[in-house]
Chain A
Amino acid sequence: MPVPSRGARLLTPSPSTGERMAAPAPDPQFVLRGARSAVHALHFCDGAQGRPLLLSGSLHGLVHVWSLQTRRPLATLDGHGGQCVTWLHTLPWGPQLLSQGRDLKLCLWDLEEGRNAVVDTVCLESVGFCRASVLAEAPRRWMLAVPGRGSDEVQVLELPSKTSVSCLKPAAGARLGMPMCLQLWQAESSPRPLLLAGYEDGSLALWDVSARKVCSRVACHSEPVMGLALDPRRARGVSGSAEKALAVWSLEGQQALQVCGTHELTNPGIADLKIRPDSKILATAGWDHRVRVFQWRTMRPLAVLAFHSATVHCVAFDAAGLLAAGSGDQRISVWSLYPPT
């Protein structure tokens, strides 16, 4: 049973004694209602004419495009046949959207000026819940990592041609289990793309995609890794799992993974984590209905946001510093905390 807490808390140092005391955290800036089922995926993007948009994927297969100015859905995309949408991502060029669903399809949408059409589909072969990852190089050639056909495989495809670049299969004795979360990454120093994958056995592996071998592997958690977030600037990241601890790790020389430390939470289970684009703040989505906010550099807890009444499935950050959280209670809460200066 989750440990109850007295509402949302902001942990600020008391001006008189300097000790940290719990002050009531601000309410969400606004709440988006109307998703009509549990929210499992969130993604901020810029719409046409500079309108900021929030995309949400729901349990019943709908992708809602929310306007952050009117706070109403502008459009609803129904492309996954009633099956849950688990991941959303927009490509940096033009209004193109990627949506991954439990119907084993990854759809590419064209959202140009009023159009809501699927232009391409990638068929997925894994029945797991692992979200895909994109490395967007150029419109003519970009990479997509998805869980593969074998239960422990990761397939890296080149799009839009949909040709297979690599099939990353661990050695027979590795017993990593299913891949649970993926992150494609290209360091500035080397042109070789790397893939970070969290597995069911609680370990993280760093793959060299072209060479198809594991550069480094580290055991972070005792339970399956549920989500990971990478800060490419600092070559550090954090992962959450079904247990109580978050693991902070670094990529030494961008080749060797090393656990720097762990951070114990009050309740077990993290569904998602994201680091804000300016690398200042980390937000975690908890099974205990709470969003926890940390200072990323030091992992100092900043706030516990207890707004939702069901598991928080996903969190997302805006370039402007807005934090959105999607939950099983069918609501999306949007918070403005510690706005970037």
Chain B
Amino acid sequence: MSSKVTIGSDIGQARRAVEQLRMEAGIDRVKVSKAAGDLLQFCTEQAKSDPFLVGIPAATNPFKEKKPCAIL
């Protein structure tokens, strides 16, 4: 939405910018209530398989500590 209109010296650049803007203008708008509801539903459904929330079991974690450090 906040795309700055750049006046490129290159015609090709300008053409690509117009194509991009045309594509953005053609995107169908979804109402906030529907989009917010869909996003919340997706997040709550996928929460159990989210490693940031659930954590990775120690057996499959490739980065877990093999040997504890000892300070000599």
Contacts and interface: CB of A to CB of B under 8 A. Distances in A.
Contacts of B31: 177-178, 200, 224
Given A1-B22, A1-B25, A127-B40, A311 B2 contact: yes
A178 B40 CA distance: 15
A310 interface: yes
Nearest to A328: B2
Given A1-B21, A1-B25, A127-B40, A309 B33 contact: no
Interface residues on chain A, size class: 10 to 19
Contacts of B1: 310-311, 328
A242 interface: yes
A128 B2 contact: no
A200 B2 contact: no
Contacts, number: 38
Contacts of A180: 32
A129 B36 CA distance: 11
Interface in B12-47: 21-22, 25, 29, 31-33, 36-37, 40
A27 interface: no
B2 A127 contact: no
Interface in A175-200: 177-178, 180, 200
A151 interface: yes
A129 B32 contact: yes
A309 B1 CA distance: 11
A329 B22 contact: no
B5 interface: yes
B4 A128 contact: no
The secondary structure that dominates the A interface is loop
Contacts of B22: 1
Interface in A285-341: 309-311, 328-329
A313 to B, nearest CB: 9
Interface in A200-256: 200, 224, 242
A151 B22 CA distance: 32
A329 B2 contact: yes
Contacts of A54: none
Contacts of A152: 33
Contacts of B25: 1
A107 interface: no
Given A129-B32, A224-B31, A151 B37 contact: yes
B4 A200 contact: no
A38 interface: yes
A128 B21 contact: no
Contact of A329 (B4, B36, B40): B4
Contacts of A310: 1-4
A329 B2 CA distance: 7
17 contacts: A127-B40, A129-B32, A151-B33, A151-B36, A177-B31, A177-B33, A178-B32, A200-B31, A200-B33, A224-B31, A224-B32, A310-B3, A310-B4, A311-B1, A311-B2, A328-B1, A328-B2
Interface of A: 1, 38, 127-129, 151-152, 177-178, 180, 200, 224, 242, 309-311, 328-329
Given A178-B33, A200-B32, 8 more contacts: A127-B40, A151-B33, A152-B33, A177-B33, A224-B31, A224-B32, A310-B2, A311-B1
